[in-house]
Amino acid sequence: MISITELLTADFFIFALVAGLSLSIVAGPLGSFIVWRRMSYFGDTLAHSALLGIAIGLITGGNPQLSIVISCLLLGALLVYLDKNPSVSTDTLLGILAHSTLAVGVVLLALTDSIRVDLEAYLFGALLTINSTDLIWVVVIVAVVAAVLYRYWNDFLSATVHAELAVIEGVNVERCNLFLVLLIALTIAVSMKIVGVLLITSLLIIPPAAARKFSESPEKMALLASMVGALSIILGLFSAFYFDTPAGPTIVVFAALFFLATYIFPSVQKN
């Protein structure tokens, strides 16, 4: 069996670790916003429809990473538009879009038999097969998302806490809502290789849910969530390698264990 030192000098493992840890930096704060704004179903829909983006990217023969990013951004913008001009309830709309886009994506991928596609890798991630190009995409996108989050943190928070007060205090709440969705879309786009479209929402919302009980401020909750996410990724990666389990689901299992553990430990919140 390969030793930990050998594993930590292996390119594929380092790539996987760096990609996962980069993702957890933005997943903590973004996931917190998803929890606070009750957008987890929204995130799920976005993630499911990302598969359609992959299919379109493969068919048109464009750069796969770029086509995933662009299609996720377009779908995010479309969701914001549909949400603002509802013909059915948001809940129903998301339910229709989440599954129909996933279905269309799978069907399209099956039709393009000229291209060999590992569907499972997109659905559940293939973190241990990540290459240097994938890693660069993850790091660049994470840097962009982190920069925007940092720049607009107070506005995003104000718009989330009380939208009307934020509007009156001069915050462009509509722009904040759009930006947040686009940031989530970007994060989902680069997470696909890491945990896959079916599991990405869980990596976004489980760590903040575990962190909630131990936080007195939104900033602390976001930071703790990032730490829980990072720990899940580290533990998940090692376990996946040594027990030969799929990396994405293993990471999510660890995140879920952290969440369960918060029920066992007493709350530190004073109020």
Partner 1 sequence: MDGSLESNPKLLIAAQGINKALNSRNILQGIDLEIEEGQIVTLIGPNGAGKTTLVRILLGLIAADTGAVHKRPNLRIGYMPQRVQLESTLPITVHRFLRLANPPSNKEIEASLSQLNITHLAQQQVISISGGELQRVLLARALLRKPHLLILDEPAQGVDIAGQAELYELISEIRHENKCSVLMISHDLHLVMSSTDEVVCLNHHVCCHGKPDQVSTDPAFLELFGANVSTNLAVYTHHHNHEHDIAGEVKSSDS
Q: Which spans of this chain sit near partner 1 (rule: CB under 8 A)?
A: 35-38, 154, 157-158, 160-162, 164-169, 208-209, 212, 215-218, 220-221, 269, 271
The token duo for 108 is 């399209």
Nearer to partner 1, 143 or 165 (CB): 165
Neighbours of 182 (CB within 10 A): 18
Nearer to partner 1, 33 or 179 (CB): 33
192/32 Cα distance (integer angstroms): 19
CB of 29 to partner 1, least distance (A): 13
The token duo for 14 is 């380092």
Nearer to partner 1, 103 or 161 (CB): 161
Nearer to partner 1, 13 or 156 (CB): 156
| Coarse DSSP helix, strand, coil percentages of the chain, rounded to the nearest 5 percent | 80, 0, 20
CB of 174 to partner 1, least distance (A): 12
CB of 89 to partner 1, least distance (A): 16
Distance set, CA 139 to CA 15, 66, 135, 196, 267 (Å): 11, 14, 6, 17, 35
Query: CA quadruple 261, 27, 68, 241: dihedral positive or negative?
Result: negative
CB of 156 to partner 1, least distance (A): 11
Nearer to partner 1, 164 or 244 (CB): 164
45/75 Cα distance (integer angstroms): 9
CB of 162 to partner 1, least distance (A): 6
Nearer to partner 1, 225 or 233 (CB): 225
CB of 108 to partner 1, least distance (A): 37
> Burial level of 265, CB count in 10 A (0-12/13-18/19+)?
exposed
The token duo for 175 is 């722009």
